[in-house]
Amino acid sequence: MQATLLPPRNPAFCAPITSNRDLGTCLIANIPMKELLSADLRQAGLQIVEPEDAGEHTLRIPIDNWIDVNALMTLGSNQLSTRLVDLSGNILAWKGALHPEDCTDKIVTDANCFAVVYPWDLLRMNEEALALMDETSLLGEVSPLASLSGFVRLAKGSRVLPGTVIEGPVVIGPNSQIGPNAYIRGATSIGANCYIGNGAEVKNSIIYNNTYVSRHCYVGDSIIGTHVTLGAGTCTENHRHDGRHHISMIQGTAVNTGRLKLGAILGDGVRTGVNTSIEAGVKIGIARTTRAGSYIGKDLL
């Protein structure tokens, strides 16, 4: 059975993470999304072909989807031109037609599938990918005074310094330094050449390569781009006092994220001054800066 990965439908909605990169190159568990999805499909026995080589029975899958493999197999076994949709009506994949609206049949799945439309959907995909981890691999240096639990992958050249606590699933790329006395927990991926400083906490987040998180920072349920510097004491808010879902502005429209926990979305090259506080759901665009002691209560794009 063949499958082809199609371009995303609304990549601009994931800005600022997609402001200067394709959605398919966004990191999920430190792997570009397109590579991760392709590997999953190949592991399921599917042959990946280019869109121009797709045939009548090729499964057509927009790259901005997380799809349960069993749901895809159900789609593939249908002899009619068919589109696969989730319970919300989002189109996940289709076969037998160039466009999903031209399909004659429809399969509604209640499997674990969702569309990646907004930045917080990247967090959910990262959570799903890391939940599949089933082993620990420590190729770097771990201090005997550090504490690791759950599944942790530490790449070559990386160091976990004394007093650090890591609660997996956590993936850390090569040549990064964690600690001393750092706390990493939840479904967190930290890229290559990163620095997580003394007393810093990172929870359920994606941190891209070459990013510097200074001492006593808190990064929770956030996506932090590459070459970002968080000044000492920078904190992301990730929980509303009223316990409701977070609201985020997308191209001028307030969107309910469906998340009880959501931090900040920071583009590449952002630099925050010491003791910057960032309100939940706020997005900061590429290379923007904040002054020391700032409170950022709305998007800076």
pLDDT surpassing 90 at residue 279? yes
CATH code reported for the domain at 137-296? 2.160.10.10
Taking each helix axis from N to C end, the angle separating 69-77 and 33-43, rounded to the nearest 10 degrees, works out to 60
pLDDT surpassing 90 at residue 12? yes
Q: Give residue 230's identity as a one-letter amino acid code.
A: L
pLDDT surpassing 90 at residue 1? no
Please state, rounded to an integer, the average pLDDT across all residues of the chain. 95
Domain residue spans in the chain? 2-117, 137-296
Compute the average pLDDT of residues 119-127: 96
- CATH top-level class of 2-117: alpha beta
Compute the average pLDDT of residues 292-301: 95
pLDDT score recorded for residue 79: 87
| Phi-psi map region of 221: left, alpha, beta (phi>0 left; psi -120 to 50 alpha) | left
Between these two residues, 236 and 56, which has the higher pLDDT value?
A: 236
Parallel, antiparallel, or unpaired: how do β-strands 247-250 and 253-256 relate?
antiparallel
| pTM of this structure | 0.93
